[in-house]
Amino acid sequence: MKVSAWDDVVVPVSVVFISDTHVPARARDLPVQLWERIEACDVVMHAGDWVDVALLDELERRARRLVGVHGNNDHGALRERLPEVARVDLEGVRFAVVHETGSAQGREARCAARFPDVDVLVFGHSHIPWDTTTAIGLRLLNPGSPTDRRRQPTGTYLTATVAAGSLSDVTLHRLPVRPPRR
């Protein structure tokens, strides 16, 4: 928690969650709206399937803090530089980031068993936004994909605020539909 020494004002941490960017395979770049959010936030969490190390380099350059993992479509330098699972504590909220969690059926129970010491699990792979809480209180978040919407009406990403041990303002952002890449 960021606290001013002068007046004890709590400054929340802003987070952008992305996954399955598939740049440049599915898009030449991330949408401008998303880059603006990335540059304005405190932390970016990427749940894998970058596809090219150039995007990792650019995110490291433009984000204040980056937490990322490799996905099933990431090879070479991406696997060398990124873990399969990343863990980070932000202002008292324990996060884990992983690419794959298996099928939707039984996901909550599997993830609760695999990550009992985590408050929020960020994952990707399906390209389908997901926001649920398990019986033990584990919050599961999938931001979808900003560039490869598959069966979704639009590309998506998530934002949230973390302060004083709490995750709040979790918001799904829908991106304008762009014409298919030729």
CB 68 within 8 A of CB 98: no
Distance CA 129, CA 131 (A): 7
User: What pLDDT is stored for residue 139 in this prediction?
Assistant: 98
Over the chain (182 residues), the average pLDDT of each successive run of 10 is 59 96 92 97 98 97 98 97 98 97 95 97 96 96 94 94 97 82 53
User: What pLDDT is stored for residue 26 in this prediction?
Assistant: 85
Sequence-ordered alpha helix ranges (H) in the chain:
32-40, 53-62, 77-81, 107-114
Q: Which residue carries 């994952």 as its tokens?
A: 123
User: What pLDDT is stored for residue 2 in this prediction?
Assistant: 52
User: Does residue 102 sit within a domain?
Assistant: yes
User: What pLDDT is stored for residue 11 in this prediction?
Assistant: 84
**Strand runs (DSSP E) across the chain, as ranges?**
2-3, 10-11, 13-18, 43-46, 66-68, 85-90, 93-98, 120-122, 130-133, 139-142, 156-163, 166-174
User: What pLDDT is stored for residue 151 in this prediction?
Assistant: 83
User: What pLDDT is stored for residue 179 in this prediction?
Assistant: 57
Domain span holding position 70: 13-174
Q: What is the CATH number of the domain that holds 112?
A: 3.60.21.10
User: Does residue 98 sit within a domain?
Assistant: yes
Non-local (6+) Cβ contacts of 32 within 8 A are none
User: Does residue 181 sit within a domain?
Assistant: no
Q: Which of these, 99, 107, 95, 111, lies nearest to 170 by C-alpha position?
A: 95
User: Does residue 107 sit within a domain?
Assistant: yes
Phi then psi for residue 157, to 5 deg, are -155, 170
Domain count of the chain?
A: 1
